[in-house]
Amino acid sequence: MEGKKFSQVGRSVTRIDGPAKVKGEAIYTDDMVMARMAHGKIKRSTYAHAFIKNIDYSKALALPGVLAVITGEDAPNKWGIVPQTANEVTLAVDKVRFHGEGVAAVAAIDEETAEEALDLIEVEYEPLPVLLDPFESMKRAGEILIHENEPDNVLHQGEQLFGDPDQAFAGCKYVLEKKFYTSYVNHAFLEPHSSLAHYDPQNGQLQLWSSNQVPHYLHRQLSIVMDMPMNKIRVILPAVGGGFGGKGEASSSDFCAALLSRKTGRPVRVTYDRNEVFVTNKGRHPCHMKMKIGLDQNGYIQAVDFDNTLDGGAYAGWGMVVMFYTTSMIHLPYKVPNARARVRRVYTNKPTCGAMRGLGGVQPRYAMECLLDELAEMMGVSAYELKMKNAVESGYRSVSNLHVPHTEYKKCLQTVVENSGYLEKHGKQPFGKGIGLAGGYYISGTAYTLYLSYKPHTTVLIRVDTEGGVTVHCAAADIGQGCNTVMAQMAAEVLGVNYEDVHVVSGDTELGTFDLGSFASRVTYASGVAIKEAARQINDKLFEVAAGMLSCRAEQLEVRDRRFYSVFEPKKNIEWEKVVDVYTNTVGTLTGIGHFSPPRLKGIDLTRGERVQGANIGHSPTFGFSAQAIEVDVDVETGKVRVTKVTEAGDCGQAVNPMSVEGQVEGSIMFTLGQALYEEMHLDKDGRMMNACLHHYKVPTVMELPEMDTTIVDSYDPTAPFGVKESGEGPVQPTIPAIANAVYDAIGVRFTELPITPEKVLKALKEKQGK
Amino acid sequence: MKQQLIQLEINNQLYEIPVTPRDLLVDVIRKKVGITGTKKGCGEGDCGACTVLMDGAPVLSCLTLAITCQGRKIITIEGLADEQGALHPIQQSFLDHGAVQCGFCTPGMILTTKALLDKNPHPDQTSIKRGIAGNICRCTGYKKIVEAIGAAADRIATREVK
Ligand code: FES
Ligand code: FES
């Protein structure tokens, strides 16, 4: 297998941006300073739903040190990452739809002056009824609409039918249906949004430095909002302090900085306070779900019926895409021959929901893995046996036409069950102690762009010369996940050099070649394809020169450890630099360029061969898998659930940088453990957020860290570049249901609403005793 | 607001800085002195990213008024590597163990670790966890940070034996 011969890929290496980060030398957007830089601040609405009758900013403008004030009228063009549903504006126009929405922005010579100016802006509101519950929102749509052109307070709804679930259910021996609810959570990345814009009035060019994970999509949105061609705008990412999806679209800070810069002719920076990060949200959609699963007498899944009401908050954002992901995610990692999904994404007067790590997967996964656990109990078999029986295999094609070229999911399940002692522990521990099993998967990139386009999703340019050595250009975004290091490793692998020799120019729409951005766990796979192709072109040229220098044939050469060797006569060899030197001296700089276009599969119902609305969403060149067995202690006095041990096994294909994969897996688990047990944003009845700070929001600290035993299972996807798959979103999928299943094992209560707080546990225990 | 001159010794260098009574240490270090390794993740004492060492003890610079720091010795993340630029063993250990992802918590984590190991050179798991309980990391899941701290303690111990 090609996968076993790697020298740069498959090695745990320290990240190339690591030294700067441990020395405090990495520059994040808020660390930058520019001459004449002004500071921008945003005035936020104090109503969750209201008409804006008037905004008077004359006093603010008169304050010494204030340079400019803008309101919604300065940039009425609507933006949104999904162009069909774009309905957000930089600052509210005529109406505010959530508490904390921006209504005006100020640029001043320093932050204090800008703050002071905000207080001088007078906004007159005419309050409207506040709709915070999606069901109430739909019910009262006749009386009050959040968006005038969205009839039922619904952004979009969809129904997908595959096969004949009704008939299938009729023939099932075991059928279970339950409701589940997932909570309203935020990414809580540690670096608040920050944007620094510099508009040069002389050449009409705009540069924006931003804490963002999708420079390309941000670039497009800027072009729309600013009414400027893309080629006059450059987006640059300095170091980014985490994203997890929350920086997976533009932020109002980007537009305010850009508009204020254009208005003042100065560089302007807008950095959010933590509380603004919460109130502008874009976190995970709370989902009100109903799921029904039917098994035949042997335990094979025959049908799944899924109903989901997504509480979307005030604007569209990623909403429609997230909604259809929740439908797509019921088709794997088990074989489901018949399925139906009915889903709707509803507007409410809350800060908008958007993309968050493992988007669209986490919610249905919670429902499905808990139901399977319960079904196994009904059948009198272990959940392990039931899941193994239904698990997909390499080459599987779902009824919705999702194609899984390769999977080691069964190996993941097997490994965790063995390593955790699940079968020996489950159901056999004293009251209060439990173990739960769950699995999951995620896409490794998407098949389609968010706007209609056939262009490649990634382009990589590799430049080789005596001056720079190897430079990889690609506008991908390293937001901390480590893709720059991984790209260097992959390029070094093909070029036969060391990863430390490779310079990576990323996160820049001008110097980097095209890339869609860091989301959907796409970068390793997509850039891997493009890097392989670009590096092959480089090698072709260098092999010819080396062949001449060694007096042998180019096709008889190989390159490794910075040397070209004749495969037949390894004594014939020459240093890589010398060959590059000769090439540069005779021809000049050498470049190679590679592209990646994902395979396009249509979302059809295979039983009828018919197109299904929204079913293109969820297709991916390959998929990553993870299984987890989680152990808990439930304190019956306090109701506290403590995760004591997590055993995980993941299929990420060939790990490029195993240490980095472990970091993704461990980070995913802790991230999601927070949602399972602690995290939730609370709004009061007027829609004001009550806990918009890290302390009261309850992000897990190190004190919640359980023992963790993670395994990267041996895997290699022969259809993928270097055999790779994703590793940063698959492992978030099983955590919540594994915890819920463990709590059931511990105290015999099934929690179907998140988070599983001590109050809920105590209440449930009391009810149980009463019975 | 009226400014007043204060002296701060930051990373062994003396600075005279005009501050207002309201200026926070984090902003003075980042904006007025211009060394930006100290990070601001919340500005309200919840995340630990802004941790600096003041006379050897970790403090949250976002909750500290600069004016109260007259004459104090402050070490920021930039002051940890040695004169020749070699990394401090804690920094090296964070690197080697993959305890850094986005890096935004890293300066605060490393300085909190420094204070912890200065006080307790051989911490067990629980002391390590208690030591960094006030520092949030959203990326790593903490496991590699705890490992890096344990290894750093060993590294420092062997270095000192030598
Ligand atoms: S910035 Fe000081 S504790 Fe968060
Ligand atoms: S590495 Fe990102 S917050 Fe710790």
A174 and A203, same domain (yes or no) = no
Residue A45 near residue A103 (C-beta atoms within 8 A): yes
A631 and A650, same domain (yes or no) = yes
A665 and A579, same domain (yes or no) = no
Q: Do A23 and B91 touch (CB under 8 A)?
A: yes
Q: Do B42 and A239 touch (CB under 8 A)?
A: no
Residue A448 lies in a domain: no
pLDDT of residue B83: 86
Residue A84 lies in a domain: yes
Instruction: Give chain A positions within 8 Å (CB) of B34.
Output: 33
Q: What share of chain A is helix, strand, coil (3-state, %, to 5)?
A: 35, 25, 40
pLDDT at residue A3 tops 60: no
Q: Do A23 and B49 touch (CB under 8 A)?
A: no
Residue A602 lies in a domain: no
A556 and A567, same domain (yes or no) = yes
Residue A450 lies in a domain: no
Cα of B107 from ligand 2 centre, angstroms: 10
CA atoms within 13 A on the CB side of A611: 5
pLDDT of residue B1: 73
The residues that bridge with A724 in the sheet, in sequence order, are A653
Q: Do B44 and A693 touch (CB under 8 A)?
A: yes
At B11, which amino acid appears?
A: N
Threshold 0.90, pTM exceeds: yes
Q: What is the CATH number of the domain that holds A729?
A: 3.30.365.10
When scoring B61, B143, B144 by the number of chain A Cβ atoms within 10 A, the one with the most, hence best to mutate, is B143
CA atoms within 13 A on the CB side of A440: 37
Helix (H) or strand (E) holding B57: strand B57-60
For chain A, percent of residues with pLDDT exceeding 90 = 97
pLDDT digit string, tens, across residues B29-66: 999 999 999 999 999 999 999 999 999 999 999 999 99
For chain A, percent of residues with pLDDT exceeding 70 = 99
For chain B, percent of residues with pLDDT exceeding 70 = 98
CA atoms within 13 A on the CB side of A40: 35
pLDDT at residue B161 tops 80: no
Query: Under the phi-then-psi rule, with left for phi > 0, alpha for psi from -120 to 50, and beta for the rest, what region is A183?
Result: beta
A501 and A513, same domain (yes or no) = yes
Residue A614 lies in a domain: no
> How many beta-carbon pairs under 8 angstroms link A with B?
173
Point out the ligand nearest to the CA of residue A188. 2
Domain boundary among the residues A217, A251, A280 is at A280
Q: Do A694 and B46 touch (CB under 8 A)?
A: yes
pLDDT of residue A2: 46
pLDDT at residue A497 tops 50: yes
Residue A179 near residue A289 (C-beta atoms within 8 A): yes
A296 and A200, same domain (yes or no) = no
As given in the structure block, the two tokens for residue A768 are 């149980």
Q: What share of chain B is helix, strand, coil (3-state, %, to 5)?
A: 40, 15, 45
Ligand 1, residue B61: give the atom nearest the CA.
2
Q: Do A705 and B129 touch (CB under 8 A)?
A: yes
As given in the structure block, the two tokens for residue A24 are 């405090």
Q: Do A705 and B146 touch (CB under 8 A)?
A: yes
Closest alpha carbon to A408 in A436, A435, A388: A388
CA atoms within 13 A on the CB side of A139: 6
Closest alpha carbon to A88 in A442, A354, A410: A354
Residue A531 near residue A462 (C-beta atoms within 8 A): yes
Residue B75 near residue B52 (C-beta atoms within 8 A): yes
The Cα-based distances of A139 to A348, A658, A685 in angstroms read 12, 51, 18
pLDDT at residue A417 tops 60: yes
> Which residue has a Cα nearest atom 2 of ligand 2?
B102
pLDDT of residue A1: 41
Residues 674-693 of A with CB under 8 A from B: 693
With a CB cutoff of 8 Å and minimum separation 6, the contacts of B103 are A17, A18, A20, A21, A22, A26, A239, A241, A480
Which residue reads 């990495």 in tokens? A26
Closest alpha carbon to A687 in A310, A354, A350, A276: A350
Rounded distance between C-alpha atoms, residue A558 and residue A543, angstroms? 8
Rounded distance between C-alpha atoms, residue B53 and residue B64, angstroms? 12
Is there an atom of ligand 2 within 6 Å of B119 CB? no
Which residue segments constitute the domains of chain B, with CATH numbers given?
Answer: 4-79 (3.10.20.30), 89-161 (1.10.150.120)
Closest alpha carbon to A467 in A593, A588, A339: A588
Residue A629 lies in a domain: yes
pLDDT digit string, tens, across residues A23-54: 999 999 999 999 999 999 999 999 999 999 99
Q: For residue A498, how far is the Cα from the chain centroid? A: 30
Q: Do B39 and A28 touch (CB under 8 A)?
A: yes
With a CB cutoff of 8 Å and minimum separation 6, the contacts of A105 are A40, A41, A42, A43, A69, A70, A71, A91, A256, A259, A260, A270
Closest alpha carbon to A105 in A94, A83, A89, A90: A90
Q: Do B139 and A239 touch (CB under 8 A)?
A: no
Q: What is the DSSP string of A223-247?
A: HHHHT--GGGEEEE--B----TTTT
Q: For A496-517, what is the mean pLDDT?
A: 96
Point out the ligand nearest to the CA of residue B50. 1
pLDDT of residue A74: 97
A289 and A263, same domain (yes or no) = no
Cα of B48 from ligand 2 centre, angstroms: 11
Is there an atom of ligand 2 within 6 Å of B135 CB? no
A569 and A538, same domain (yes or no) = yes
* Cα torsion angle, A144, A145, A151, A157, sign: negative
Is there an atom of ligand 2 within 6 Å of B103 CB? yes
Q: For B66-92, what is the mean pLDDT?
A: 96
Domain boundary among the residues A258, A280, A302 is at A280
- Show the domain range for A89: 32-128+187-280
Is there an atom of ligand 2 within 6 Å of B99 CB? no
Strand A641-651, strand A194-200: pairing: unpaired
pLDDT at residue A120 tops 80: yes
Helix (H) or strand (E) holding A368: helix A362-379
Nearest by CB: B107 against A24, A192, A240:
A24
pLDDT at residue B10 tops 90: yes
Residue A245 near residue A354 (C-beta atoms within 8 A): yes
| Burial class of residue A570 (count of CB atoms within 10 Å of its CB; 0-12, 13-18, 19+) | exposed
Closest alpha carbon to A169 in A382, A340, A385, A383: A340
pLDDT of residue A510: 96
Instruction: Give chain A positions within 8 Å (CB) of B46.
Output: 274, 693-695
A699 in B contact zone (CB under 8 Å):
yes
Q: What is the CATH number of the domain that holds A116?
A: 3.90.1170.50
Nearest by CB: B136 against A28, A666, A699:
A699
A239 and A177, same domain (yes or no) = no
With a CB cutoff of 8 Å and minimum separation 6, the contacts of A502 are A469, A470, A471, A472, A487, A488, A491, A492, A495
Q: Do A274 and B44 touch (CB under 8 A)?
A: yes
Residue A5 lies in a domain: no
Instruction: Give chain A positions within 8 Å (CB) of B94.
Output: 18, 22
Instruction: Give chain A positions within 8 Å (CB) of B138.
Output: 187-190, 242, 244, 667, 671, 699
Point out the ligand nearest to the CA of residue B136. 2
Cα of A506 from ligand 1 centre, angstroms: 29
A750 in B contact zone (CB under 8 Å):
no
Is there an atom of ligand 2 within 6 Å of B138 CB? yes
pLDDT of residue A731: 97
A470 and A565, same domain (yes or no) = yes
- Using pLDDT thresholds of 50, 70 and 90, give the confidence band for residue B137: very high
Residue A605 lies in a domain: no
Q: For A591-597, what is the mean pLDDT?
A: 97
Domain boundary among the residues A280, A303, A324 is at A280
> Which residue has a Cα nearest atom 3 of ligand 2?
B137
Is there an atom of ligand 1 within 6 Å of B141 CB? no
Chain B residue with minimum CA distance to A673 = B141
pLDDT digit string, tens, across residues A256-274: 999 999 999 999 999 999 9
When scoring B102, B109, B125, B128 by the number of chain A Cβ atoms within 10 A, the one with the most, hence best to mutate, is B102
Which residue reads 């299929």 in tokens? A651
Mutate to test the pocket of ligand 2, among B50, B91, B94, B105 (most ligand atoms within 8 A of CB): B105
| Number of domains into which chain A is organized | 4
Give the total residue count for chain A.
771
Ligand 2, residue B49: give the atom nearest the CA.
3
Instruction: Give chain B positions within 8 Å (CB) of A662.
Output: 98, 144
pLDDT digit string, tens, across residues A350-387: 999 999 999 999 999 999 999 999 999 999 999 999 99
At A169, which amino acid appears?
A: F
A430 and A565, same domain (yes or no) = no
pLDDT digit string, tens, across residues A79-109: 999 999 999 999 999 999 999 999 999 999 9
A147 and A36, same domain (yes or no) = no
Point out the ligand nearest to the CA of residue A480. 2
pLDDT of residue A4: 59
pLDDT of residue A770: 85
Is there an atom of ligand 1 within 6 Å of B45 CB? yes
pLDDT of residue B162: 47
Q: Do A666 and B141 touch (CB under 8 A)?
A: yes
Rounded distance between C-alpha atoms, residue A471 and residue A461, angstroms? 8
pLDDT digit string, tens, across residues A213-231: 999 999 999 999 999 999 9
A115 in B contact zone (CB under 8 Å):
no
Q: Do B140 and A667 touch (CB under 8 A)?
A: yes
pLDDT of residue A771: 75
